Structure 1
């Protein structure tokens, strides 16, 4: 049997205490958030009743809508981050002179509610005394907010399991881009997001009961049924329990540091579809021999 080809990309650093793949946690002022929700009528917004309905798309497809070199834009960065709660974010940045263009697409693999919470967190994380945004265009997502005034330059919206952030400081309206992105998402709505996640068949450990100072190898075994996937495997541990020694695409080698039960959480992210699945394994560390 010919084994399906698989592109697995590893991240070369890990910071425990951040969310998955190193993206920092957003802090929200509760009072500021409540005032904002009341002002935009958040509780009256009608969202889809089925939390598993959402966008399942190869997000490379939005590249045709992005700023071009012909228009004077220089691609500055393109990154993928894992976030808490089964979210994956892809960020594109461009610059033209002193102007910047930023697109962030946050996709939830854990239900539409997670995307809405990320939307509220994203718009309410500000040092300003009042969240400045107002309701945005009704045609944009299930709920959108924007900076007041015209043209439309900074806009955020949520659509099923996706939260989109779009900013352009060049003075040109982002409405054509927003319409194209919304149309792209509408064309890729599926009834069951959970059935389209990348799959971890199992997570194995070389020793389920290592002693302190011994090495233990933790390996994720991705399901290879979709050979076109571009996957990233990561593990989250408490560094005071397991110290990272080396890593490969699917396996990390740790040194056991202190006795006790340690939980290793494996994350498998699809870098094209921005979907993620997670699995856990327990390591019972024994006292030093």
Structure 2
């Protein structure tokens, strides 16, 4: 074999050897290490800008947004306020024995004291004002008050009058709102709180007429005073009740329609005549 053939063979061996050389791989999957770039053309190195001396020790920049400042509690109700929400507040406090009066819807001294006690018991600032934190805590501990709880002392707005109450002279008595409205030709003259018989002695429902009035009546059956009695169905009558005035809805009648306000029923008694209608409905 001539020298030229030997030289060609040597070159071929060198090319094959270089093509099979292992290439080191960095952990990121790119060629690297001391042998990276072997068998590739070289170029003049370009120098990267050097990092500041303290770059390695500087903490990484945080990408998290700054925390929002806490929202201070907002006052919802305070002394002197009058509203339906105040009435609800009082009814809820009454459920857990912090408020011992009947709800009135007026934020007075009793309400301030009840709220202070409730707040102090739970480690809240005892300001007596109902703020958002106090209100949320109270909501979590109580249930939605019923209409009767909100108006435990009476004063429920009168229900819409039955259609039978819209003509003539009528004692329009709604059990749902516990009210008696004296109506003449569809116009409400006066409204008063009433209570009814218990489940064992229920007050009858329907349309009746006043057939007898007795100013100083006393029940012979129960030996009970029934002032300003206006009888409409057997022994059942509309009359003033001192027990109702004293104890409210904690009690019940024996079927009569009890009126709490003596002045109002005295005025009503003077206006009602025998033959005027009485309508009692749900």
Q: Tell me, yes or no, whether TM beats 0.5.
A: no
TM class by smaller structure: under 0.3
| TM-score, normalisation: structure 2 | 0.22
| TM-score, normalisation: structure 1 | 0.21
Larger radius of gyration: 2
Structure with bigger strand share is: 1
